[in-house]
Chains A and B, each alone.
Chain A
């Protein structure tokens, strides 16, 4: 069965960086791509971007462009999200989500448990 296990909660100071990992199991890692989505407390889902697990291509939301980097390690079956220059507004739960194919259409389907990142002085 597909499982996505994310790294644990983080507390960071403003200006710092955070790196969240998402380890996948139960399938061939490079067969499906990943999205990163965040959700501030009590707020909406916010799409951050996408990474191809096959070749590492990335797409980022303009809101995070320049501050976020997605990477993957195929040998470890893991995807990573690094966000820099953190500010209090970045306090949120960060989710990785693996796509599933529906006749050539791909949507985030399997989700990690979420990683709470708290930015505070």
Chain B
């Protein structure tokens, strides 16, 4: 099974600052990786698909990069609504897997 390791576990930042979230796969997943945002009590929301493509309606401050085993989600200037938990998700191999999440919290 592919293990996705996200770091850091928690990011404490202020609005306006930028956030850099990492997701490392135990084997290559090519570019078949997505990023989700989850707010408390809500279902996840897809932000980025195939590593670097923003879904429709996702603000341009969200960007994804990487391929193979190392991926990054960057939020260029945090808005109050961006404080949430972010998960990476690979669909390259069965079973599909999620990372353990990175919580972006307000400092």
Contact = CB atoms under 8 A, between A and B. Distances in A.
B89 interface: yes
Contacts of B99: 44
A61 B91 CA distance: 13
Contact of A59 (B1, B32, B36, B95): B95
Main secondary structure, interface of B, reads: loop
Interface in A79-121: 95, 97, 100, 102-103, 105-109, 111-114
Contact of B50 (A49, A50, A105): A105
Contacts, number: 58
B49 A107 contact: yes
Interface residues of B, number: 22
A49 B95 contact: yes
Interface of B: 1, 32, 34, 36, 38, 43-44, 46, 49-50, 53, 87, 89, 91, 94-101
Interface of A: 35, 37, 44-47, 49-50, 59-62, 95, 97, 100, 102-103, 105-109, 111-114
21 contacts: A35-B96, A45-B98, A45-B101, A46-B98, A47-B95, A47-B96, A47-B97, A50-B96, A59-B94, A60-B95, A61-B95, A62-B95, A95-B43, A97-B44, A100-B46, A102-B49, A102-B50, A103-B50, A107-B46, A107-B49, A113-B43
